[in-house]
Structure 1
């Protein structure tokens, strides 16, 4: 009966059924083939039109959907796997999909061409990573591979080639120091190499016209990000925890579609922050722990950076007038104060109309410049872990602000007037004021009054929306270590409607 249901599907629907049957995660340690959003995204990379096909599978009770999670009965999973295996039950290199570590190991040990393999998804627990290793030379012989996910798989060997059909690559603990020099990843959309051994991704320029996400977080050996001038569609660049990275190529300034830039704890990074001026689509900027970066001597007033927009279309070379080139080195002899550099950065960020999230926590900042008030589009601001005594009065100009984080500001003594909250246009908002371990904060009664007044504005504005939309809203206010007084308050809305 189950096979009859499968046989009645169209070709695209069969492909979706087989992908879900083989790859759907039954554990909680990873998320890729489990949550509806991720399942649809990965199926889309497989070019099988998931919105239509998954609807058909749900109607035929071949899959189910509950609270954002895709589910399939174990009998149906076994059916799908048996269909993939049926033409060559004992030769996994001839299958279209690989989902078992043991089967992948067989393919790698034989080390022959595996021309049918289109997708590999191997997920293991951390303990299994330490227990067994696999030599992956045969990956270079999979010319049709479109999807590769290796999670907690301990790999070694050589990688001379990656399939040019690859659209999604997730490989944590990637063991190699660079990508193969001959790769042509024209179709690649996401490149995710967490905790990798990468030192340099590539040398020179590489054309990745469809790459949207480059995530190298916690790659401890990474020392630089190469030329990205031929990666024009990049929207997310994540380098969090790359503690040895020294430089990012200046071509980052030409990424007009970049929306999310995460440089958290890139402690050795030196970057001319003028390149950020050109990131006109930037929505979220994470500079937490980058004290060296924010003290950059190379930051100039935006009025003197017109040359960043004057780019030779054929060479992507910045055309810098000679007199500016001659004057440029003198910035090293009279470096700006940290607050001056940050002020210039904040002034320039105000020209990015969609920036809503800024994190400059734990940057050893002794003063927050008045220019912070220019960032009118900000909704989330994290200033925690810095050394300032008070905030500038211009903070009240941030009328879109929903969340202000001041945790671990151990020198903070005074709170300024907080912003007047504008009417929210978004539903499902979560925000708050976070003051944890601010032991020197004084005038507690005044602080209480200001904090509760600001939070009530949030509540009143959101209550109106919640009644209209029948949503449940949660507000969290944490005020701890007020001198010797500890206070925590949770403000909760019950489910409305």
Structure 2
């Protein structure tokens, strides 16, 4: 029955929460899984079907009716109201789970938990149709404060905790997880207790917290979530000495100006400083760092130590509008995704990684890619929308997706792996004839390409061609009729291309017929919603179509 309270937790945390000398938690979970009572995901997260959960509640509820004094688990709103309002708690109670949106107004006395010395799980949360961000704790009041919390607590969750600190006599020695989101806390503890068992700390959206306690007494902390703690002005240095810390989320801590540590951390894998809009100074490293998010900060440069992180896969510097240069002499090993989107002042760029897959330089002021980027043999996608880059290095051979560039090289046909080209809003005046040699090209997006006057022959591999609003387009070239029978086009759009000459319009119509016939033949024996689309200017329905109309059909 305890599992009913622990849905969506990882197995390792459930093991800590239910730890018992006479009981193997992991073995118990496996037995429950074998009986289809729970499921365990690839991420080792435990889930329980709603029907099974409801059944468990009904069984526990029946037990409480038969003998209220032996109630171990409290989750019925009426039972909880009775116990908390009239101080009916006792040592039998092990867990309380209450949704504040489903319970009557509670005015608690300071001694409300005094008799519940064996309470292990306390979860006061909000869940329902109302948005938690705008919820005010009208349902629960502690007008005279809180005298104590049970020292046996292993899981403490209290959304909108209404006091400025936790009780000073709460030892917290047994705590494994502490969840106090949207709290009114100013200081977590007056004096930091021994937190040897604490693994998870969630204080997100506690806007009154200005500083964090010393975490040297919490050596096993693995997750710290401080998102939207907008009043937080500093991070205690002890955090960077935690040997087991894996996740540190400081998203939207908008009062932080500096995060710096001389300690090279061991276990930190994920660090987010997204929307820390006043952050100007940053230097934190970890030998196991996988993801670093510095989006929407005020950094003017990136500390060189970042480029020495051997396991870093994702580096997000989007919208760092004060960033002018990002340069490294170190050829990184593991970096796969680098985004500099909207770094509008960025002019100097030289970062390479042998495993880079995606590079986003949209809306930057970079004018030239370093020649060394051609050595990035795994680079598949590069986004240059509204950037100042005019050409690609000749050494770049393995791209799969190219988004916008000021000038396509005449040798573009040598990009044998290129599958998608996006030239939306491009100002290029012409496309190179070598495009017909792009044997793997499947998607070409030319929307709003207003300077394009002619479209060269394209390879037979093309499946979608979108040239809507190419208002200057006059001519389109197709291969021979015999070669067109090798095509498999599914979508071709020349909407509002009103300057196409008569030869091109006839060629488009012929190409449409060929591909429609092939499409119909291919899908004749299949069921489903398969469709092919051809859109081009004209005032008549093409001959050969048996179902014709000049009216729109919206039904």
User: What TM-score bracket applies, with the shorter chain setting the length?
Assistant: 0.5 to 0.7
Q: 1:150 aligns with which of 100, 124, 128?
A: 124
Partner of 1:116: 92
Distance 1:380 1:432 in 2: 10
3-state SS of 1:169 partner: strand
Which residues in structure 2 correspond to 1:397-476 (within 5 Å)? Answer: 397-412=331-346, 416=350, 418-421=352-355, 432-434=358-360, 440-443=386-389, 445-446=391-392, 453=399
CA deviations over 1:36-58 (Å, ceiling 9, x no partner): x5477436512353432233334
Q: CA deviation at 1:481?
A: 8.2
User: By how many angstroms is 1:79 displaced?
Assistant: 5.7
Could you tell me which residue of structure 2 aligns to residue 53 of structure 1?
28
Change (3 A) 1:402 1:413: same
Pairing of 1:342-353 with structure 2 (within 5 A) = 342=282, 345=283, 349=285, 352-353=286-287
Q: Measure, in 2, the Cα distance between the counterparts of 1:256 and 1:63.
A: 32
Q: Displacement of 1:223 after TM fit?
A: 1.2
In the alignment of these two chains, the number of paired residues is: 376
* Contact in 2 for aligned 1:85/1:92 (Cα 8 Å): no
- C-alpha distance in 1, partners of 2:105/2:362? 44
In the alignment, the residues of structure 1 paired with residue 96 and residue 394 of structure 2 have an alpha-carbon distance, to the nearest angstrom, of: 55
Deviation at 1:241, TM superposition (A): 0.9
State the Cα distance separating 1:139 from its structure 2 match. 3.2
Structure 1 residues 96-131: Cα deviation after superposition (integer angstroms, max 9, x where no partner): 11122222112112213321111122346xxx37x8
Aligned partner of residue 214 in structure 1, secondary structure: strand
Contact residue 188 and residue 208 of structure 1 kept, 8 A: yes
Residues 112 and 123 from structure 1, CA distance in 2 versus in 1: closer, same or farther, beyond 3 angstroms? closer
Residues 205, 229 of structure 1: 8 Å contact kept: no
Please state how far the C-alpha of 1:220 moved relative to its aligned partner.
Answer: 0.6
1:99 equivalent to 2:75? Answer yes
Aligned counterpart, 2:514: none
Q: Which residue number corresponds to residue 150 of structure 2?
A: 163
Matched, 1:188 2:171: no
Aligned counterpart, 1:133: 105
| CA gap 1:144/1:452 in 2 versus in 1, 3 angstroms | farther
Report SS of the residue matched to 1:89. Answer: helix
Q: Which residue pairs with 2:299 in the alignment? A: 365
Which of 262, 266, 270 is 1:284 aligned to?
Answer: 270
The SS at the match of 1:273 is strand
* SS of aligned partner of 1:108: helix
Contact 1:383–1:405 (Cα < 8 Å) also in 2? yes
- 1:355 is displaced (CA, Å) by 2.1
The answer to whether the 8 Å contact 1:414/1:442 transfers is no
Pair 209,480 (structure 1): closer, same or farther in 2 beyond 3 Å: farther
* Cα drift, residue 284 of structure 1: 2.5
Question: Which residue of 2 is the match for residue 216 of structure 1?
Answer: 203
Structure 2 CA distance for partners of 1:173 and 1:447, relative to 1, 3 Å: farther
Question: Equivalents in 1 of 2:445, 2:397: separation in Å?
Answer: 13
> Quick check: 1:265–1:288 contact (8 Å CA) kept in 2?
yes
Residues 1:175 and 2:162 aligned together: yes
Is there any run of 5+ residues in structure 1 with no aligned partner, and where?
Answer: 1-17, 24-31, 296-341, 423-430, 457-475, 489-497
Separation (CA, whole Å) in 2 of partners of 1:451 and 1:419: 15
- Cα–Cα, structure 1 residues 419 and 480, in superposed 2: closer, same or farther, change >3 Å? farther
Q: The residue matched to 2:295 in structure 1 has which SS?
A: coil
Q: Is the 1:235–1:257 Cα contact (8 Å) retained in structure 2?
A: yes
> Closer, same or farther in 2 for the Cα pair 1:118/1:39, shift >3 Å?
farther
Could you tell me how far apart the structure 1 residues matched to 2:83 and 2:319 are?
Answer: 50
Larger Rg belongs to: 2
In structure 2, do the counterparts of structure 1 residues 386 and 51 end up closer, same or farther at CA, with 3 Å as the change threshold?
same
Mapping of residues 221-232 of structure 1, within 5 Å:
221-232=208-219
* 2:289 match: secondary structure: coil
- Shifted more, 147-156 versus 213-222: the winner is 147-156
**Structure 2: how far apart are the matches of 1:184 and 1:437?**
53
- Which has the higher mean CA deviation after the structures are superposed, 377-386 or 104-113? 104-113
CA RMSD of aligned residues (A): 4.0
Pair 1:453–1:226, CA change in 2 (3 A) = same
Q: Return closer, same or farther for 1:177/1:454 CA change in 2, 3 Å cut-off.
A: farther
In structure 1, the residue matched to 2:241 is 254
Cα distance, 1:451 vs. partner? Answer: 10
> Aligned-pair distance for 1:167?
1.2
Q: Kindly indicate whether the alpha-carbon contact (under 8 Å) linking 1:92 and 1:107 is maintained by their aligned counterparts in 2.
A: no
Pick the structure with more helix per residue: 1
* More RCO (CA 8 Å, sep 6+): 1
Structure 2 CA distance for aligned equivalents of residues 361 and 106 of structure 1: 48
Determine if contact 2:165/2:188 at 8 Å carries over to the other structure: yes
SS at match of 1:209: coil
- Alignment CA distance shift 1:270-1:161 (3 Å): farther
- Do structure 1's residue 19 and structure 2's residue 5 form an aligned pair? no
> Distance between the aligned counterparts of 2:421 and 2:349, measured in 1?
15
Matches within 5 A, 1:283-322: 283-290=269-276, 292-295=278-281
- Mapped partners of 1:94, 1:477: distance in 2: 66
Partner of 1:277, secondary structure, is strand
**Does structure 2 conserve the Cα–Cα contact (< 8 Å) formed by 1:259 and 1:281?**
yes
